[in-house]
Amino acid sequence: MNGWLLAAGVTAAGVAGVHLIAGHRDPVRPLLTSELADVPKRTLYAVWHLVSADLVLAAAALIYLAMAHHASGTDLVALFVAVHFIAYATVFLVITVSAGWSKRLLRLPQWMLLLPVAIMSWLGTR
């Protein structure tokens, strides 16, 4: 068993849980009650669900890879997941830093949840 990939998978499952609970309460509920037109509103809601599915599937893949570490392609898939989470973290960092808010790194803290999954996934390929 690959401990790094297992830790990454469990952490990714936690991230998915936070996304589903806090994400629905903070950005989704206000979005759905906003005056935004229906098509962009429903499109953003669908994107939120796509990210939910993506996070759950990534967690499942990492946990599976942790158990099947010697299977062909494991390192490549784990590296892909690592890059995937680095991309997510980078998007949040760029958006929050460019916003000009005070305490900007804490206003959109998602990067703090995503980056550890990326690092542990990458370490699991070593």
What confidence tens digit (pLDDT) does each residue in 10-57 have?
999 999 999 999 888 888 999 999 999 999 999 999 999 999 999 999
Burial code (b: 16+ CB inside 10 Å, e: under 16) for 80-115 equals ebbebbbebbeebbeebeeeeeeeeeeebebbebbb
Report pLDDT for 99. 87
Report pLDDT for 69. 65
Q: What is the 3-state secondary structure (H, E, C) of the chain?
A: CCHHHHHHHHHHHHHHHHHHHHHHHHHHHHHHCCCCCHHHHHHHHHHHHHHHHHHHHHHHHHHHHHHCCCCCCHHHHHHHHHHHHHHHHHHHHHHHHHCCCCCHHHHCCHHHHHHHHHHHHHHCCC
Report pLDDT for 112. 94
List of residues 6+ apart from 93 with CB closer than 8 A: 105, 111
Report pLDDT for 111. 93
d(CA 83, CA 70): 21
In the chain, what percentage of residues exceed pLDDT 70? 99
Report pLDDT for 107. 85
Give mean pLDDT, residues 48-67: 96
